[in-house]
Chains A and B, each alone.
Chain A
């Protein structure tokens, strides 16, 4: 009984604090209707990519935003998840649920090992060690000629029982359901006693020690959960892309995930998803816009994106989610907008 009431209190805590996230999830559910009537099926593909990168960024955000651990190697877990599909199929394992299970187990174990070793350091050393592990894994897969090496391997979309992934809408909604479940899980974790302790460790690790808790245990647990979420995103990424190569775990993708989180809002549930939406929409549209003005520079859309990112970081410390919240607050409370933050 008390278990159920606990659960309900926790759910209501999470729902109250994360309306924007569930609004975005609802938006993704309705988006295919829009693309159908507007006859823009290509945009379903963009939306899937947004959801996949958003999911991975949400995973990273658990350690980066809530736990204050700047991991610069999370693309490795996306890669491991994706290779669980590729290598699984190579050995005749074609069931998608089995790929998901495999991805969770392998990424969980890798997260445990890397977390256990890397979390003994902090600050710049932690950033470098996580990057070093990711680079090691990157070059490991480059050297595995059997699995395509540098060129990667093509993948048949996995069998998910009654869900035929070659139907683009079914793939879309498989990604959507898992994204929503990951969001639900993270929402519970963040508002739970564990999540609150993790956030407190970010705020002041030595006070948590002084309360008789071992911060490392909480950090490693958070690290493993975040690795598993990135692995899940990787499994789906491989199915969406029908192809996997070491490129998926290139260190620039780890940076991309960090940019997405900082752009959207560190330590918020909606932030990484909102960040992924804005980041990928700009990535799609800036080259086109730049191309009409100055065709020679269309490739260099980062010239525009860079300053935009700097402005968001400088003027909205909580990223886009922070900007939205500040605006709503000043609308409700016009006189107090300066006192707010």
Chain B
């Protein structure tokens, strides 16, 4: 049996009396697009935060490619192979698109501490940055300041930065939120293109996109998993219909 990229075991996290994550176990397999769905307040982002390392679980284990990372800091988890895009675009607004790529490239190479090495004029870094930007088709916007980019392009750039270090697990928190239909379409195509290359854990409210993209789904309600399986299995699941999808019929 292949080893899961991400393995969560019995995670618990409470904020006071609120149980945000309750005995939660799940796996993400190599190369799959795994969607995490559930009503608002189900604890999806809190779970992503615990996988990413911004929040520490009260108990339970997070493993990446077979090694435990529960106690690692955010930067150490990124080095171990986690890439992330946030609910609100998280890019370097005061820099150009190319400069964003260059800063990501020098971080990927582990050369961010160079005191006597040039950054924005370095040919090797520029080449690397172009490769990073090409993955999302932003190379033509390289000289644009990020502050002047459209919302959709910023989302693309963030995805490019998250992919820069070739992570084994990509956490995407609502990549299509606030985007128009064209941008959503474009984003879906790019995510589709990543299938099989990187394991993706996707939170998304656009159910059409989720059902089109996901190989497997995990459904969360009030901090716990109520169902997990393929798109067909989840659509047929009575508990899910009742708790979640039912409201939309």
Interface residues of A (CB under 8 A from B): 3, 6-7, 9-10, 12-13, 188-189, 191-197, 199-200, 202-204, 206-214, 217-218, 221
Contact = CB atoms under 8 A, between A and B. Distances in A.
Consensus secondary structure, chain A interface: helix
Most buried by B among A204, A218, A221: A204
Contact of B95 (A12, A189, A191, A200): A200
B11 to A, nearest CB: 21
A206 B114 CA distance: 21
Contacts of A7: 116
Given A6-B122, A13-B120, A212-B165, A193 B90 contact: no
Contacts of B92: 200, 203-204, 207
B8 interface: no
Interface string B100-142: 0011101110011111111111100000000000000000000
B103 A192 contact: no
Contact of B75 (A9, A12, A197, A209): A209
Contacts of A213: 75, 107, 112
A197 B103 contact: yes
17 contacts: A6-B118, A9-B121, A10-B117, A193-B111, A193-B114, A194-B115, A196-B99, A203-B94, A203-B95, A204-B91, A207-B90, A207-B91, A207-B92, A209-B78, A210-B84, A211-B103, A221-B113
Nearest to A8: B118
B90 A210 contact: yes
Contacts of B161: 207, 210-211
Contacts, number: 110
Contacts of A192: 114-119
A209 B74 contact: yes
Nearest to A16: B121
A329 to B, nearest CB: 15
Interface residues of B, number: 38
Interface of B: 73-76, 78-79, 83-84, 86, 90-95, 99, 102-104, 106-108, 111-122, 161-162, 164-165
B107 A211 contact: yes
A10 B83 CA distance: 30
A197 B107 CA distance: 9
| Shortest 7 CB-CB contacts between residues of A and residues of B | A212-B78, A193-B114, A211-B107, A10-B118, A196-B119, A9-B118, A203-B94
Contact of B113 (A10, A194, A199, A206): A194
Contacts of B93: 203-204
A193 B74 contact: no
Given A6-B116, A188-B116, A197-B106, A210 B162 contact: yes
Contact of B119 (A191, A218, A221): A191
A10 B111 CA distance: 15
A64 B95 CA distance: 18
Given A210-B78, A213-B112, A196 B120 contact: yes
A211 B78 contact: yes
A118 to B, nearest CB: 20
B103 A188 contact: no
B112 A194 contact: yes
Contacts of A195: 119
Given A10-B121, A203-B93, A206-B86, 5 more contacts: A12-B121, A203-B95, A207-B90, A209-B74, A210-B90
A210 B51 CA distance: 13
A55 to B, nearest CB: 19
A210 B114 CA distance: 19
Contacts of A218: 112-113
